[in-house]
């Protein structure tokens, strides 16, 4: 029933009632214009206009060998103007050695069926969260039903070349001073079975405050070995030791960072820690823990943060010791942000910069409960940023990035 309804709706939008003579006239003019472009290109290749003899005075200057035209053939071409049939001229070119070769147009290369703008539009629709089958239906009125799910898949595979080049690029020129690292899970199809994998994401903060995506890798989990693989690859491509790393608190990630850069300053995400604190206490205490934690983390000065930290530990050690122990477990890594200028605290306290990307990514793939493969998941995440579907702004407090961090206030003082 649903299949019949979809087909009927598609036919209605493609019917005569939804098209007018203006569109038909414009499409005809576009076809004539493309054919004229191809004729001019061939005339330049032959060194003479159509119907002009080889021995006649040449109106066109060309260094190409002589040759002769050889009829036309029809080619299907899809552009943002829709699908059309173009009559492409054919010709044989003669070389100095007397050999002949078929002329190949540079304007409309062999086997090309779509313009680059169309491919960008199809890919953009896919990145916007429309699955491969629905892209065709969404663009049916523009392309007159000419976009199949296989076409979408082929366009997406062409993007793979850009993706592979991005994974091999030199990152030494990015001038990265900070890293934000986090992972997210996604369901993909492996051996025809739905499997949950981890996408490990590394976001860099440049000296000018601009966020830049450095790496996306699909892994089986967030172990030390998995994160070390990602970091080693970045180091091999020129990433230098950053001045700070912001993490979610996963032990494997911290171990991987310190094994590569032994004395790197680390800031643990305060949002992740709050969730962890609440998980250590009865549900009825959740609001009170959140209020005390916020009072501590959002104090105006580093001295106030240190004072409220002592108060928090003292209170919850008596009320629910597991909460106090959990906060103490994080240690000074939870308060590294207090060493920096106050203008930077908002952007340093959490891994929200990556969490927002995770949320947008999950929203875009909501219609695709299971992605085709692990590589497709990583490519899709990258594609959302590379295509401009998701943009990243500078971090808060970027004007003070040149300032050096101070010493952490001693709790025993």
pLDDT at residue 282 greater than cutoff 50: yes
Banded model confidence at residue 23, pLDDT cuts 50, 70, 90: low
- Longest CA pairwise span in the chain (Å): 104
SS3 assignment, position 334 = helix
Tens of pLDDT, residues 222-240: 999 999 999 999 999 999 9
Among 97-106, 206-215, 247-256, 288-297, the least confident range? 97-106
Long-range contacts of 12-19 (CB under 8 A, 24+ apart): 13/140, 13/141, 14/140, 14/141, 14/144, 14/145, 18/141
Q: Which of 172, 139, 128 is nearest to 367 (CA)?
A: 128
How far, CA to CA in Å, does 257 sit from each of 48, 230, 303? 67, 10, 29
Global confidence as pTM = 0.69
| Spatial contact of 403 and 244, defined as CB atoms under 8 Å apart | no
Mean pLDDT, the chain, rounded, equals 82
pLDDT at residue 204 greater than cutoff 70: yes
pLDDT at residue 49 greater than cutoff 80: no
Please, what is the Cα angle at 393 between 219 and 250, to 5 degrees? 30
Question: What is the 3 state secondary structure string of 174-188?
Answer: HCEEEEEEEEEEEEE
Q: How is 240-251 classified by DSSP, letter by letter?
A: PPPSEEEE---H
How long, in residues, is the chain?
413
pLDDT at residue 401 greater than cutoff 70: yes
Query: Residue 38's pLDDT is what?
Result: 83
Q: What is the mean pLDDT of residues 19-36?
A: 74
Q: 248 is written with which tokens?
A: 């979610």
Among 14-18, 119-123, 268-272, the least confident range? 14-18
pLDDT at residue 57 greater than cutoff 60: no
Q: What is the mean pLDDT of residues 103-130?
A: 70
Q: Which residues contact 230 (CB under 8 A, 6 or more apart)?
A: 200, 202, 215, 217, 219
Calculate the CA 275 to chain-centre distance.
28
Q: Which of 315, 335, 333, 311 is nearest to 323 (CA)?
A: 315
Query: Residue 77's pLDDT is what?
Result: 77
Residue that wins the pLDDT comparison between 119 and 350: 350
pLDDT at residue 50 greater than cutoff 80: no
State the DSSP H helix or E strand holding residue 70, giving kind and residue range, or none if neither: strand 67-79
pLDDT at residue 216 greater than cutoff 90: yes
pLDDT at residue 5 greater than cutoff 80: no
Q: 141 is written with which tokens?
A: 């009125």
pLDDT at residue 312 greater than cutoff 90: yes
SS3 assignment, position 207 = coil
Q: Which of 128, 120, 76 is nearest to 366 (CA)?
A: 128
Residue that wins the pLDDT comparison between 275 and 189: 275
Query: Residue 41's pLDDT is what?
Result: 81
Query: Residue 142's pLDDT is what?
Result: 64
Q: What is the mean pLDDT of residues 175-185?
A: 93
Q: Which residues pair with 394 in a beta bridge?
A: 210
Tens of pLDDT, residues 371-385: 878 888 888 888 878
* Rounded Cα–Cα distance for residues 326 and 274 (Å): 10
Tens of pLDDT, residues 135-179: 666 666 666 655 666 766 677 677 777 888 899 999 999 999 999
Q: Provide φ and ψ at 196, rounded to 5°.
A: -90, 125
* Rounded Cα–Cα distance for residues 378 and 241 (Å): 25
Tens of pLDDT, residues 337-396: 999 999 999 999 999 999 888 888 888 777 777 887 888 888 888 887 887 778 888 999
Domain ranges in the chain are 2-113, 115-168, 174-400
Q: What is the mean pLDDT of residues 57-71?
A: 62
Calculate the CA 237 to chain-centre distance.
19
Count CA within 13 A, CB hemisphere, residue 135.
Answer: 27
pLDDT at residue 297 greater than cutoff 50: yes
* Rounded Cα–Cα distance for residues 403 and 393 (Å): 21
pLDDT at residue 20 greater than cutoff 60: yes
| Spatial contact of 187 and 379, defined as CB atoms under 8 Å apart | no
- Cα-only R_g, the chain: 30
Among 10-14, 52-56, 192-196, 204-208, the least confident range? 10-14
Cβ atoms within 10 Å, residue 19: 14
pLDDT at residue 252 greater than cutoff 80: yes
Tens of pLDDT, residues 84-107: 788 888 888 877 677 788 888 877
């Amino acid at each position: 029933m649903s299949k019949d309804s979809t087909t009927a709706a598609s036919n209605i939008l493609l019917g005569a009632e939804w098209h007018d003579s203006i569109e038909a006239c414009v499409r005809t003019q576009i076809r004539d214009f493309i054919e004229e472009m191809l004729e001019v290109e061939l005339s330049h290749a032959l060194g003479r206009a159509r119907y002009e003899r080889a021995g006649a005075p040449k109106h066109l200057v060309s260094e190409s060998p002589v040759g002769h035209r050889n009829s036309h053939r029809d080619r299907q071409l899809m552009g943002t103007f829709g699908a059309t049939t173009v009559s492409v001229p054919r010709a044989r070119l003669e070389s100095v050695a007397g050999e002949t070769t078929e002329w190949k147009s540079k304007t409309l290369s062999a086997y090309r069926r779509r313009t680059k703008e169309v491919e960008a539009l199809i890919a953009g629709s896919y990145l916007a969260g429309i699955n491969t089958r629905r892209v065709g239906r969404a663009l049916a009125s523009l392309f007159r039903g000419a976009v199949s799910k296989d076409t979408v898949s082929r366009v997406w595979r062409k993007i793979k070349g850009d993706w592979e080049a991005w994974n091999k690029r030199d990152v030494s020129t990015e001038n990265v001073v900070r890293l934000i690292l986090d992972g997210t899970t996604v369901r993909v199809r492996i051996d025809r079975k739905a499997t949950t994998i981890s996408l490990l994401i590394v976001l860099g903060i440049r000296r000018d405050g601009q966020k830049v995506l450095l790496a996306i890798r699909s892994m089986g989990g967030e172990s030390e070995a998995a994160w070390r693989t990602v970091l080693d690859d970045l180091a091999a491509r020129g990433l230098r030791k950053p001045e700070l790393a912001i993490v979610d608190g996963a032990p494997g990630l911290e171990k991987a960072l310190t094994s590569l850069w032994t004395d790197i300053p680390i800031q643990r995400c305060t949002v992740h820690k709050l969730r962890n604190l609440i998980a250590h206490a009865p549900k009825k205490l959740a609001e009170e823990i959140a209020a005390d934690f916020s009072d501590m983390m959002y104090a105006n000065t580093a001295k106030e943060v240190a004072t409220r930290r002592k108060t928090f530990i003292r209170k919850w050690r008596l009320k629910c010791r597991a909460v106090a122990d959990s906060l103490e477990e994080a240690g000074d890594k939870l308060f590294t942000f207090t060493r920096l200028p106050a203008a930077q605290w908002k952007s340093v306290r959490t891994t929200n910069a990556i969490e927002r990307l995770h949320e947008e990514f999950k929203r875009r793939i909501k219609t695709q409960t299971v992605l085709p493969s692990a590589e497709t998941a990583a490519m899709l995440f990258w594609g959302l940023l590379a295509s401009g579907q998701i943009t990243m702004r500078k971090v808060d407090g970027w004007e003070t990035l040149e300032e050096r961090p101070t010493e952490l206030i001693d709790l025993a003082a």
